[in-house]
Amino acid sequence: MSDLPFLAHGETYRRLDQMRLAGRLPHALIFLGPEGVGKQLVARHLAKALLCEKESSAPCGACRSCQQAAAGQHPDLWSLEPDGGRIKIDAIRELKKSLSLPPLVSKVRAVLIAEAHALNAAAANALLKTLEEPPPATYFLLASHAAGWVPRTILSRCQKVRFSPLPDPALAEILRAQGKALDPRRLRLAQGSARLALLLSEAPEEWPNLERLGGDAEPLGLDEAYALGQSLNEAERLTPYLESLLLEAHRRLCAESSAERRFALLTFAERILEFRREMRQNANPKLHLPRLLMFFKEPLESRL
């Protein structure tokens, strides 16, 4: 397996791995930190190590367990994903049914919940009882980039592991490995998120970022907005651009404490989502984009 995911989290992983080898790994962990910094990669790697047949050099990548896990077909590796934006109680009920039986292939069972903030109240409540009295040989590896939205009762039952934003050289290396690059100024805009860096590397460079759209630096004029709209030739270039704006707005929203700014960021995100829906219905981006860009200068000026 590539070392890339661990560029900045090697020490965190080693600490967890030592606990695993010593049989002291807590049965419920939650990885907390910004979106796109590698929490899920580390969680998945740790899950594979727990399930691997070669305890000391796990995950070996060669045993039956490692191969099943890599193919997404390991019967003892559970991954609970949001359905329609939320993880619902049905998913927890199904999981709990299997928890009453011993693991099928490996000595232990691992349950990944990558977006713990997506648990709805009923699902969180049902999961809580299991976290309080975990069944034998079962490890829960939760993660979230929005700790404030994870039910407190869930947070308090898990040992917290903090993940920091990735340093710029690590981001540059991740981009290089995928044949991509960003100049240092745009790399800084990614704020330590590999996901945002990858999106930015696909978005047209001449397009304004969130700072430019909503901040007070150098306002975007009507002529410029119109010219940008006209310069867009391929609709597929628009998608990574809009996603990079959404992700940046989302990351700020998670960290923002001012109610007024939160409202401005939410309005911003809603407008982008609406614009994206219009584009999917074959609206002409050359006509609509100047309108979208100008919209941000109006109600959001100096607020983001």
CB of 54 to Zn ion, least distance (A): 5
- Contact pattern from residue 56 through residue 75 relative to Zn ion, giving x for each residue in contact according to CB under 5 A and a dash for the rest: ----x--x--x---------
Choice between 108 and 128, CB closer to Zn ion: 108
d(CA 137, CA 42) in angstroms, rounded, equals: 20
CB of 112 to Zn ion, least distance (A): 17
Number of residues this chain uses to bind Zn ion (CB under 5 A): 4
Return the residues of window 12-51 that contact Zn ion according to CB under 5 A: none
Span of 1-9, 55-63, 97-105, 223-231 interacting with Zn ion by CB under 5 A: 55-63
Task: Specify the residue for token string 């002291």.
Answer: 24
Other CB atoms within a 10 A radius of the CB of residue 139 amount to 20
Among 37, 50, 52, 91, binds Zn ion (CB under 5 A): 52
CB atoms within 10 A of CB 253: 16
Tell the smallest beta-carbon distance from residue 212 to Zn ion (Å).
48
Which residues are 161's β-sheet partners? 31
Strand 109-113 with 77-79, pairing? parallel
Question: What is the nearest approach in angstroms of Zn ion to the Cβ of residue 60?
Answer: 4
- Taking the least distance from each CB to Zn ion, the nearer of 62 and 255 is 62
Report whether 91 contacts 83 (CB < 8 A).
yes
In whole angstroms, the minimum distance from the beta carbon of 61 to Zn ion comes to 6
Question: For residue 286, what are the CA distances in angstroms to 207, 231, 262, 291?
Answer: 14, 8, 30, 10
- 110: contact with Zn ion by CB under 5 A: no
Task: Determine the Cα–Cα distance for residues 13 and 52; give it in Å rounded to an integer.
Answer: 16
Q: Give the residue with the Cβ less far from Zn ion, 104 or 273.
A: 104
Comparison of 37 and 66: residue with beta carbon closer to Zn ion: 66
- Choose between 104 and 255: whose C-beta lies nearer to Zn ion: 104
Q: How far is the CB of 64 from Zn ion (least distance, A)?
A: 8
- Residues contributing to the site for Zn ion (CB under 5 A): 52, 60, 63, 66
